[in-house]
């Protein structure tokens, strides 16, 4: 049985996804904090840093947000196609999740999705933009079944009054703020037309457009599109300080770092992802059956959209009817209309905010295999019933209102499982264990056999332990919400076959993760390296503060170390003073106990050398690593 448990309290909301009593996913949100990730803001550019190739924008949330130059360019269709994955990750932006390196490697060879800040002016802008490019046949987008456009007569001389490339891009990308004047070179004439493909691409060509074309033809297509695409070098001419721009938060503030934002916007719904200021229509890459993709694309294109609006069908939309998509689209357009009204105010201002955790969990986690949803808040219970009715799942999923005085997570035996999220050492079923250590640079996970004897011989035991480890690691990554660079130190396997088995198992398990992951084969040293998308702080960082005693190190100096420091300090002080000094030594009681017992002879020798007298005074309020030396006659600190 698969359940979703929602614990809604005054200060926080917790969501647990449980499968046969085992905690599979855990989310937590504090109500006192703004829901930043996925929200859209009308921001103001504070400054551009060419050395970082980034801009810092004020979104009205304290520290300025980081906007990379690549995230200010129009998203490629390949990135838009994958926005369903991002939306499944909690409803985040379509293009902002990709790294600059990924954008750099993909952008020159893909078709470009146009963007504009205003829907009312976007229609005419896109018509002019498409008119200039009509002479160039477009390649089909990655994993997209769209029919190739018909070739049109080329215009070798630009018409008088046409805007240059940079001016057109400015119209597409800029916010409602006043544009900064800039001198721009004239646009180059469009290239001569080439022959368009005569038939719809076959399935292999659909997945990899251009793969079966001659090498020279593929390169020429890439160069033509690269000429029409703005680059990061154009950003300083397109954007200036104090200019307004619409951005979406793709990564919340973590530690001392501010939020990360993108200018490529997306608003996720249950079945659709709305792409404001884009004309792209696509289907999630996770929908692989060609017949179903064709059916979905036909229905999506039949929906009435305002000018300059795009859509992507999410994975859960497979098998759905047109009325489900229409209902979802109406809700998304209503969100955007409200955002347009809010966007009339002066920046910085929030124009769209992501729903709270309870609604997001039902939107993204409520699949057809969920048997019941149990909620302990009447308000959330009523909202859940409304959402499930809207999603047409009332016949498959039961919604229950939990009223027992025992806390809902305790009733379902989840307390120990949740507490285990914060343990450094995680046991494995066969007796082995993994150790998870979080550092500033990476997450290090060590696998140990422990008392495991599950196999007939050593290689079989090692393989079984590693397989258990990767299953638990994939689960722990989701539960702890840890990300960044992750390194797994697996038990050494000599067999290449065993290494490939462990790698493939781990790769398959990561497919269930809603966060974007990238995994690399096992290295000769037995290390498996991967990256995991991180949008917010880890669960541990949300619940715990650094220990004020050890300042987050988890370590304090031993009593022996403190005794050495006190002896060193006494020798320094007495060496500068006359003999016969009387000194009070103030320290933590544990330190004083050692000075009087284990190290009594050492301090007696110092007293003899300098004809001094020591008095030991325990101070329970002192930190274990603090001590003071005072003149016994004057009471002044030495």
Q: What is the mean pLDDT of the chain?
A: 77
Q: What is the pLDDT of residues 188-231, one digit of tens each?
A: 444 443 333 333 333 333 333 333 344 344 344 444 444 566 77
What is the distance, to the nearest Å, from the Cα of residue 212 to the centroid of all Cα atoms in its chain?
36
Beta strands 582-587 and 613-618 are parallel
Across residues 155-182, what is the average pLDDT? Answer: 45
Taking residues 599-627, report their average pLDDT. Answer: 92
Confidence of residue 113 (pLDDT cuts 50, 70, 90): very low
Peptide bond preceding 459 in cis form (omega within 30 of 0): no
- Between 100-114, 159-173, 543-557, 617-631, the lowest mean confidence (pLDDT) is in 100-114
Question: What integer is the mean pLDDT of 570-580?
Answer: 87
Q: What pTM did the predictor assign?
A: 0.68
Q: Which residue has the higher pLDDT, 626 or 254?
A: 626
Please give the Cα distance from 246 to 36 (Å, whole number).
Answer: 14
Alpha carbon 313 to its chain centroid, in Å, reads: 21
Number of other CB atoms surrounding residue 37 within 10 Å:
21
Reported as a single tens digit per residue, the pLDDT across 451-462 is: 766 656 688 889
Q: What is the pLDDT of residues 492-524, one digit of tens each?
A: 998 899 999 999 999 999 988 888 899 999 998
Q: How do strand 398-401 and strand 281-283 relate by DSSP bridges?
A: unpaired
Given this model, what pLDDT does residue 397 score? 78
Give the domain 2-33+355-415 fold: Nucleotidyltransferase; domain 5 (3.30.420)
Length of the chain, please? 638
Question: 604 — phi, psi (to 5°)?
Answer: -65, -35
The answer on pLDDT for 287 being more than 60 is yes
Question: Is the pLDDT reported for residue 603 higher than 60?
Answer: yes
Secondary structure (DSSP) of 543-609: H----TTTTTSS----HHHHHHHHHHHHHHHHHHS-SS-EEEEEE-HHHHHHHHTTTHHHHHHHHHH
Return the pLDDT at 513: 87
Number of H helices, E strands in the chain: 20, 24
Residues 124-146 as b or e (16 or more Cβ within 10 Å = b): ebbeebeebbbbbbbbbbbbbbb
Kind and range of the H or E element at 165?
Answer: helix 165-173
CA pair distance 589, 621, nearest whole angstrom = 9
- Asked if residue 228 lies in contact with residue 59, where contact means CB atoms within 8 angstroms, the answer is no
Mean pLDDT for the stretch of residues 438-445: 87
**What is residue 228's predicted lDDT score, i.e. its pLDDT?**
61
Within a 13 Å sphere around the CA of 68, how many CA atoms are in the beta-carbon half?
16
The alpha carbon dihedral of 505, 506, 510, 516 has a sign of negative
Q: Which residues in 114-215 belong to E strands, given as ranges?
A: none
Tell me if residue 484 falls in helix, strand or coil: strand
Q: Alpha helix (H) ranges present in 65-113?
A: 77-81, 83-88, 100-106
Looking at 379-383, 430-434, 455-459, which range is the least confident one?
Answer: 455-459
User: Which pLDDT belongs to residue 227?
Assistant: 53
8 A C-beta contact, residue 261 and residue 70: no
Of 436, 372, 426, 381, the residue nearest 403 (C-alpha):
381
User: Domain spanning 559-631 has what CATH number?
Assistant: 3.40.1260.20
Residue that wins the pLDDT comparison between 420 and 170: 420
User: Which candidate, 256, 509, 370, places its Cα nearest to that of 517?
Assistant: 509
How do strand 309-313 and strand 349-352 relate by DSSP bridges?
unpaired
Cα separation, 6 vs 375, whole angstroms? 5
Euclidean distance between CA atoms 89 and 123, whole angstroms: 31
- With beta carbons less than 8 A apart as the criterion, state whether 281 and 144 touch: no
**The pLDDT of residue 75:** 58
From residue 79, give the alpha-carbon distance in Å to each of 99, 112, 350, 517, 547.
11, 10, 25, 15, 42
Comparing 169-173, 260-264, 308-312, 472-476, the range with the smallest average pLDDT is 169-173
* pLDDT tier at 65, thresholds 50, 70, 90: very high
On the question of pLDDT at 232 being above 80, the answer is no
pLDDT at position 616, please? 93
- Please state the φ and ψ torsions of residue 153, each to the nearest 5 degrees: -55, 140
Is 475 or 61 the better-scoring residue by pLDDT? 475
Phi-psi region of 319 (alpha: psi -120 to 50; beta: other; left: phi over 0): left
Q: What is the rounded CA–CA span in Å between residue 178 and residue 347?
A: 12
CB 173 within 8 A of CB 117: yes
* Calpha distance 388→396 (Å, rounded): 10
Q: What are the φ and ψ backbone dihedral angles of 346, each rounded to 5 degrees?
A: -75, 140
Would you say 585 and 615 are in contact if contact means Cβ atoms under 8 Å apart? yes
* Model pLDDT, residue 440: 77
Number of neighbouring beta carbons within 10 Å of residue 372:
14
Cα-trace Rg, the chain: 31
Please answer whether residues 258 and 268 qualify as being in contact, where contact means their C-beta atoms are separated by less than 8 angstroms.
Answer: no
């Amino acid at each position: 049985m698969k359940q979703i448990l929602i614990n809604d309290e005054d200060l926080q909301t917790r969501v647990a996804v449980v499968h046969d009593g085992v905690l599979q996913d855990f989310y937590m949100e504090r109500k006192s904090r703004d829901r930043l990730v996925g929200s859209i803001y009308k921001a103001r550019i504070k400054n551009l840093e060419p050395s970082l190739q980034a801009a810092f924008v004020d979104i009205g949330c304290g520290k300025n947000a980081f906007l990379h130059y690549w995230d200010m360019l129009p998203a490629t269709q390949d990135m838009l196609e994958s926005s369903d994955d991002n939306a499944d990750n909690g409803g985040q932006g379509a293009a902002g999740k990709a790294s600059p390196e990924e954008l750099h490697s993909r952008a020159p060879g893909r078709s470009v999705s146009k963007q504009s800040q205003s829907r009312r002016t976007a229609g005419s802008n896109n018509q002019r933009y498409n008119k200039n490019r009509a002479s160039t046949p477009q390649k089909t987008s990655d994993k997209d079944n769209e029919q190739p456009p018909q070739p049109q007569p080329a215009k070798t001389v630009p018409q008088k009054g046409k805007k240059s490339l940079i001016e057109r891009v400015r119209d597409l990308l800029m916010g409602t703020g006043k544009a900064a004047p800039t001198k721009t070179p004239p646009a180059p004439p469009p290239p001569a037309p080439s022959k368009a493909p005569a038939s719809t691409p076959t399935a292999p060509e659909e997945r990899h457009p251009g793969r079966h074309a001659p090498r020279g033809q593929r390169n020429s297509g890439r160069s033509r599109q690269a000429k029409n695409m703005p680059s990061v070098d154009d950003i300083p001419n397109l954007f200036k300080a104090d200019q307004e721009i619409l951005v979406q938060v793709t990564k919340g503030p973590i530690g001392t770092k501010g939020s990360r934002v993108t200018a490529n916007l997306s608003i996720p719904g249950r079945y659709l992802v709305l792409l404001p200021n884009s004309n792209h229509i696509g289907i999630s890459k996770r929908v692989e059956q060609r017949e179903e993709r064709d059916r979905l694309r036909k229905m999506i294109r039949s929906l009435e959209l305002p000018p300059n609006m795009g859509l992507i069908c999410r994975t859960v939309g497979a098998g759905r009817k047109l009325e489900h998509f229409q209902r979802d689209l109406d809700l998304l357009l209503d969100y955007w209309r409200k955002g347009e009204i809010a966007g009339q105010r002066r920046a910085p201002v929030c124009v769209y905010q992501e729903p709270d955790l309870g609604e997001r969990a039902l939107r993204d986690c409520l699949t057809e295999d969920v048997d019941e949803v149990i909620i302990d808040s009447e308000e959330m219970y009523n909202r859940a019933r409304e959402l499930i009715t809207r999603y047409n799942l009332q016949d498959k999923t039961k919604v229950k209102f939990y009223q027992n005085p025992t806390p809902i997570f305790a009733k379902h035996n989840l307390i120990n499982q949740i507490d285990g999220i914060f343990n450094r050492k995680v046991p494995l079923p066969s007796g082995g264990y993994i150790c998870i250590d979080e550092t500033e640079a990476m997450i290090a996970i060590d696998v140990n056999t422990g008392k495991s004897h599950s196999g007939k011989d050593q290689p079989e035991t090692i393989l079984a332990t590693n397989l258990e480890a990767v299953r638990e690691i994939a689960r722990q990554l989701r539960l702890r919400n840890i990300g960044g660079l992750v390194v797994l130190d697996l038990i050494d396997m000599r067999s290449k076959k065993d290494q490939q088995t462990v790698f493939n198992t781990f790769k398959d398990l990561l497919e269930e993760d809603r966060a974007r992951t990238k995994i690399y084969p096992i290295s000769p040293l037995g290390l498996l390296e991967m990256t995991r998308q991180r949008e917010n702080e880890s669960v541990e960082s949300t619940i715990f503060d650094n220990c004020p005693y050890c300042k987050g190190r988890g370590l304090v100096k031993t009593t022996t170390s403190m005794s050495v420091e006190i002896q060193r300090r006494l020798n320094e002080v007495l060496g500068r003073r006359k003999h016969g000094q009387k000194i009070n030594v103030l320290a933590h009681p544990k330190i004083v106990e050692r000075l009087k017992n284990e190290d009594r002879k050492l301090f007696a020798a110092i007293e003899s050398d300098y004809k001094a007298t020591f008095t030991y005074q325990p101070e329970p309020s002192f930190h274990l690593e603090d001590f003071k030396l005072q003149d016994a006659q004057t009471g002044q600190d030495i």
